[in-house]
Structure 1
Amino acid sequence: MTDVGAQMRKGVVEYCVLGLLAREQMYGWQLAEELTGAGLIASIGTLYPLLGRLRDNGWVSTFDLPSESGPVRRYYRLTDAGTEQLARFRAQWTPFARVVSGIVGEERA
């Protein structure tokens, strides 16, 4: 049986990462806590390959900062190209979600 939720998450999770990074620069563990808490990823192990793809696409960049509580942390930030990609997604998401909800929403009597 297909996990419908997993298929839906797969299509939007990278844009959710871009959305989080549009709010603030974050390190991997912060991103993982946000995304696992929202049920968008299963574990931190699934996040790093996604971050690598976003970096390869030029949508995020990284920088390291010392941490007061341990090793150096790698932070992620949105690039101009990432900001543009997020804007394109936002422009299409609301109309798309509205159409899908209208089609698969509650059955009418």
Structure 2
Amino acid sequence: MGKQATEMLKGVLEGIVLAMLSLRPAYGYEITAGLRDQGFRDIAEGTIYALLLRIEQRQLVDVEKAPSEKGPPRKVYTLNAQGQEYLDEFWRTWSFLTERLEELRDGGK
């Protein structure tokens, strides 16, 4: 991924992770692996864990500890009602921005 794509991704990564959690609960490594499967190969686990801490502190997710076969219990993140409201706003903003960008690309039509 180039520098421009990396910078753009930083602005929407939170929305992407919340969208993933709207599909099903997950723990940090699952989220990172899912992003990599979607083509976001340069995502560092540390970036995702820092983001998860921020959305947990903002109470956008519920967190539950689940036993792990290897090592300490995992924190499993579930999108809660407040997180769903935030995600809904993200999608409204995304739609607005993509419509304006497409208009610009098409010469203002």
- Could you tell me the TM-score, scaled by structure 1's length? 0.83
Count the aligned residue pairs. Answer: 104
The Cα shift of 1:40 comes to 7.0
* Identity within the alignment, %: 27
Name the residue aligned to 1:102.
103
Assess if the C-alpha contact under 8 Å between 2:32 and 2:43 holds in 1.
no
Query: Alpha-carbon deviations, 1:28-61, whole Å to 9, x = none?
Result: 1100101233317522121111111111111112
- After alignment, is 40-49 or 7-16 more displaced? 40-49
Q: Which runs of 4+ in 1 moved over 3 A?
A: none
The change in CA–CA distance for 1:92 and 1:21 in structure 2 (over 3 A counts) is same
Name the residue aligned to 1:63.
64
Name the residue aligned to 2:15.
15
AA aligned opposite 1:5: A
**Local SS of the residue matching 1:70:** coil
Assess if the C-alpha contact under 8 Å between 1:25 and 1:77 holds in 2.
yes
Name the residue aligned to 2:81.
80
- Could you tell me the TM-score, scaled by structure 2's length? 0.83
RMSD of Structure 2 on Structure 1 (CA): 2.0
In structure 2, stretches of 5+ residues that fail to align are none
The Cα shift of 1:4 comes to 1.1
